[in-house]
Amino acid sequence: MSRRRRIRIGLKGKLSLLLALLLAAVVAALSAQALSGIRDDQQERLERTFARQAEAANLRVREAFLTGERVEAKPFMEKNGQRLAVDLGELSGMPVTLYDTDGVLAGTSLPIQPRTDASDALAYTAQGVSAYITEGDALLYLAPLYNADQQLGTVQFHASLAEQNAFYERIRDLFLYAGLAVLAGGFLIGYLYVHRQVNVIRRLNRAAQQIGRGDYLSRPPVRRRDELGELADGIYDMSGSISTSVSQLNAEKRKLMEAIARLSELERQQKQFIGNISHELKTPLTSIRAYADLLEMYGDDPELLAKARERIGMEAARLYELVEKALQLSAMDVYDFETRSEQVELAPLLSEAAERIRVKADAAGIRVESQLQGGIVWADPDNLMHIVLNLLDNAVKYNVPGGKVTLSNRQASGDDGSARMIVEVADTGIGIPPEAQARIFDPFFTVSGDRSRATGGTGLGLSLVRSLAEKQGGAVRLAESGPSGSRFALELPVAAPARES
């Protein structure tokens, strides 16, 4: 973290310094150019001035030489040097000193003799070339004096460079201050500008960290019309796609977890089912085996024979029922049974079911009543018969002698407003204890082992009824139950669901 912060500060400092140095370098380059231009210009002007003055001095000295006495150059200079120097001083407006051809001082307009040693420069003028000597702010210009090819001597002008140098230094200082100001200003402006950009980068960074925490963006972190803006849009788009992918992954994970939970529940139920059914199968088999053993020993006992026939028949029937129901139940759990639903005229089917149960009911001294209405349901007729028979069978089994079973049907509307048909099986039997009511549809659940055993129940009937009812878009529930009897309600769709029609 601290490393990152250092880099960020460095970036600000570095970029601003770079900008400031660049600007300062530009100012320095421009200043150097301008200063050298000024120097050249000053030099050129001086040279022109001196050349003009040398020309004028030449004219004046030559005129004096030609119009005066006929003497050699050296005595001429010796004699006229001082006067000519003063003349030339007035003429040029500068102090002037004259030398003869041997470089000996011949005269000067200065109040005192010049102290500068001009011998090197005089050697140049002896060869006909002009020369400069600079000493601090003072500049000496020496030029040869001629009459045709004959050298008369050397003229030396004393000029002061103080003004020029002062001007040059003023300009140089100006550039220096301007350079420093540009350096400071450039750094400041650069710093402020980079600071703003870095702030934008910080916001983008914060947005990236926010996405990292799983808190996705609701809008781009920055709105700009440059590369940083494009980056912000990119981060926003990325956040959107990550969010979508993550929620898809989460949804899939949830589905997977649900599927795993369903599978383990199914596995648990199957294990329980197998355990239960093995146990249930063993009871009648034990009974049958016991009678077989008894018959082997006392095969000629007519009383035992009659009892054994009855018990073995009963146990075999129980075994058969158990196996058949178990097979049906497990098949429905494992395979998605295709129910062949169709439009079924309800009243005839219910009448037939009532007739089929009547034999058993009569034997138990129980009356069966029907209160039927016409109507059509959408169901598999075989399954429907199975459901109704199971409900009627229970109503008889768990009834009391002299009791009554009522089978009825009526129109109703479902939760979604669709037309439904309700088939009700009511009895005046022993009822179901409240604590058992929620579990009677579970496989192998019986209210009390003894009671069920006595009536030959397996605890699979209602479980099968519920599976069959739900397979054809219906539902079954215990509508009410108490000491004076129970009422089961089967709800069925009246028409085929939209996708089947």
Q: Which residues bind ligand ADP (CB under 6 A)?
A: 394-395, 398, 427, 429-432, 440, 445-447, 452, 457-463, 486
Cβ 277 to ligand ADP shortest distance, Å: 13
Q: How far apart are CA 485 and CA 479, in angstroms?
A: 11
What's the closest the beta carbon of residue 274 comes to ligand ADP, in angstroms? 18
The rounded distance, in Å, linking the Cα atoms of 90 and 106 is: 17
Could you tell me the smallest distance in angstroms from the CB atom of residue 426 to ligand ADP?
Answer: 9
Q: Closer to ligand ADP at the Cβ: 277 or 440?
A: 440
| β 150-160/96-99 pair status | antiparallel
Pick the closer one to ligand ADP by CB: 158 or 397. 397
Q: Residue with structure tokens 């920055």? A: 222
Q: How many C-beta neighbours within 10 Å does residue 195 have?
A: 12
* Minimum CB distance to ligand ADP, residue 356 (Å): 17
CB of 256 to ligand ADP, least distance (A): 34
Choose between 350 and 432: whose C-beta lies nearer to ligand ADP: 432
Pick between residue 211 and residue 405 the one whose CB is nearest to ligand ADP: 405
For ligand ADP, the closer of residues 87 and 491 by Cβ is 491
| Strand 367-371 with 404-413, pairing | parallel
The residue among 77 and 468 lying less far from ligand ADP, judged by its C-beta, is 468
**How near is the Cβ of 258 to ligand ADP at its closest, in Å?**
28
Q: How far apart are CA 165 and CA 35, in angstroms?
A: 11
- Closest distance between ligand ADP and the C-beta of residue 450, in Å? 10
How many Å from the N-terminal Cα to the C-terminal Cα in the chain? 67
Report yes or no: 186 and 15 within 8 Å, Cβ to Cβ. no
Whether 392 contacts 353, CB under 8 Å: yes
CB nearer ligand ADP, residue 210 or residue 437: 437
- Tell me the C-alpha distance between 155 and 114, whole Å: 13
**Shortest Cβ distance from residue 321 to ligand ADP (Å)?**
8
Determine the Cα–Cα distance for residues 317 and 330; give it in Å rounded to an integer: 20
Question: Measured from the CB of residue 398, what is the shortest distance to ligand ADP in angstroms?
Answer: 3
Residue nearest ligand ADP, CB atom distance: 457
Q: How far is residue 29 from each of residues 39, 85, 444, measured CA to CA in Å? A: 15, 45, 102
Cα of 160 vs its chain's centroid, Å: 77
What type of residue sits at position 102? D
User: What is the C-alpha separation between 356 and 214, in angstroms, rounded?
Assistant: 66
Nearest to ligand ADP of 421, 462 (CB atom): 462
Q: Which residues pair with residue 269 across a beta bridge?
A: none
The smaller minimum CB distance to ligand ADP, of residues 238 and 281, is found at 281
CB of 435 vs ligand ADP, minimal distance in Å = 12
Rounded to 5°, angle at Cα 43 from 41 and 46: 110
CB of 270 to ligand ADP, least distance (A): 18
Cβ proximity to ligand ADP, 13 vs 456, nearer residue: 456
HSE-up of residue 207 (Cα within 13 Å, Cβ side): 22
Helices (H), 335-458: 346-363, 381-397, 434-437, 449-455
Q: What is the 3-state secondary structure (H, E, C) of 197-227?
A: HHHHHHHHHHHHHHHHCCCCCCCCCCCCCCH
Q: By C-beta, is 177 or 320 nearer to ligand ADP?
A: 320
Phi, psi of 220 (to 5 degrees): -60, 140
As a whole number of angstroms, the distance between CA 141 and CA 154 comes to 10
